[in-house]
Amino acid sequence: MAIRTRFTELTGVEHPIVQGGMMWVGRAELAAAVSNAGGLGILTALTQPSPDDLRREIDRCRAMTDKPFGVNLTILPSVSPPPYAEYRRAIIDSGIRIVETAGYNPGEHVEDFKAHGIIVIHKCTAVRHALSAERMGVDVISIDGFECAGHPGEDDIPGLVLIPAAADKVKIPMLASGGIGDARGLVAALALGAEGINMGTRFCATVEAPIHDRIKQFLVDNDERATNLIFRQFRNTGRVARNGVSDKVVEIALQPGATFEDVRPFVGGALGRTALETGDLDAGLIWAGQVQGLIHDVPTCADLIDRIMTEAESLISDRLAGMVARDLQPA
């Protein structure tokens, strides 16, 4: 059997599985592999140095797949922000039909994308933010539980509570994100009210992920305890893999009067990129979620998605269906 949801019907993808946008990781190799396997691959716009580089990366992805794929545009407050409007224009001009937005106040971007007929998925970490995005006109909510890599918000609500809490109020299709890496996560997400799943860390540990093999093996070797929460005192919490750098950042943050300037030398994005590309586990931050504890191999994207779908269908039709007690009629 196939699993059809409002999300697959809306986007035209075969399976309700999305590869979320990830800095330095969401490149054409990975996005195309996910899309070719029937999921929705996502390019990360700001991984590209300029809007013109993004245009070229979109063209490169199109040369690798004829299936739907999207682009992530994450908006973060900054003293010197990147030219978001120019990246947005590159996405629109390139004919992209699906965009994942995330971060701070995406209103003007959503409005422009919607004016050009683009399906907008907005990632958020709280029910109130999901409802705000729904009012803004987005088409899909990706609700991110506390287990996730990246920025889980400041409410600390895990997916088992956050997903159904959002499903109780959000009317548009919803993806479950954070802590999901296998068929059990997909089936649980569907049961909790989602229409699909969004995976980041799990797709980092695939053959096609454009990062060093030592990083992939690091994710396999780690368990669910191997993360650190950083930037808590700055109300910009981030979940990263536990390594020498993130341990140091946590240690500094515990000192009385610590400020962001004290940790800045350790947390630059360029350092994280070096770690991912060279395999130096202590070169910078490695963003990863608690789902590390469910990652046991490094398959191709096709094998991973096929495994998830096959096992999900078996869970639904066999294991769960077999648990439903039926009244026995007397002979």
236 with 314, same domain: the answer is no
Could you tell me the two tokens for 112? 């422009």
Asked, for residue 248, whether it belongs to a domain, the answer is yes
pLDDT tens figures, 74-124: 998 777 899 999 999 999 999 999 999 999 889 999 999 999 999 999 999
Are both 201 and 312 inside the same structural domain? yes
CA atoms within 13 A on the CB side of 84: 21
pLDDT of residue 330: 61
Distance of alpha carbon 258 from alpha carbon 28, whole angstroms: 39
235 alpha-carbon distance from chain centroid: 21
Q: Are residues 50 and 132 in the same domain?
A: yes
187-211 per-position pLDDT tens digit: 999 999 999 999 999 999 999 999 9
CA Rg value for the chain: 20
Domain membership of residue 27 (yes or no) is yes
Residues 165 and 251 in one domain: no
For 216-231, what is the mean pLDDT? Answer: 98
Residues 180 and 203 occupy one common structural domain = yes
Share of the chain above pLDDT 90, in %: 94
Euclidean distance between CA atoms 120 and 98, whole angstroms? 6
Q: What is the mean pLDDT of the chain?
A: 96
Q: pLDDT tens for residues 138-154?
A: 999 999 999 999 999 99
Task: State whether 44 and 155 are in the same domain.
Answer: yes
| C-alpha to C-alpha distance for 31 and 64, rounded to whole angstroms | 9
- Residue 65 neighbours by CB distance under 10 Å: 17
**Residue the block writes with tokens 């909790």:** 192
Q: Are 152 and 26 members of one domain?
A: yes
Domain co-membership, 228 together with 142: no
Token code pair at residue 293: 């504890």
> How many percent of the chain have pLDDT more than 70?
98
Residue 331 has pLDDT above 70, yes or no: no
Same domain, 88 and 222: no
**21 and 43 in contact (C-beta within 8 Å)?**
yes
Within a domain: 161: yes
The answer to the question of residue 287 being in a domain is no
In-domain check, residue 132: yes
Q: What is the pLDDT of residue 76?
A: 86
The number of distinct structural domains making up the chain is 2
Which domain covers residue 10, as residue numbers?
Answer: 6-210+297-319
Domain-embedded: residue 268: yes
**CATH number of 20's domain:** 3.20.20.70
Query: pLDDT band at 1, cuts 50/70/90?
Result: low
Sequence-separated (6 or more) residues with CB below 8 Å from residue 211: 24, 25, 204, 276, 277
The answer to whether residue 252 is domain-embedded is yes
Query: Do 254 and 118 fall within a single domain?
Result: no
- Per-residue pLDDT reduced to its tens digit, 255-286: 999 999 999 999 999 999 999 999 999 999 99
Residue 330 within a domain: no
Verify that 94 and 178 share a domain, yes or no.
yes
Task: Quote the CA–CA distance of 311 and 325 in Å, as a whole number.
Answer: 22
Indicate if 104 and 41 belong to the same structural domain: yes
Q: What is the 3-state secondary structure (H, E, C) of 57-117?
A: HHHHHHHHCCCCEEEEEEECCCCCCCCHHHHHHHHHHCCCCEEEEEECCCHHHHHHHHHCC
Closest CA to 138 of 159, 123, 126, 153: 123
* H runs (alpha helix) in the chain: 6-11, 28-36, 51-64, 84-93, 107-115, 127-136, 159-167, 183-192, 201-204, 213-221, 244-253, 260-267, 269-278, 301-314, 321-323
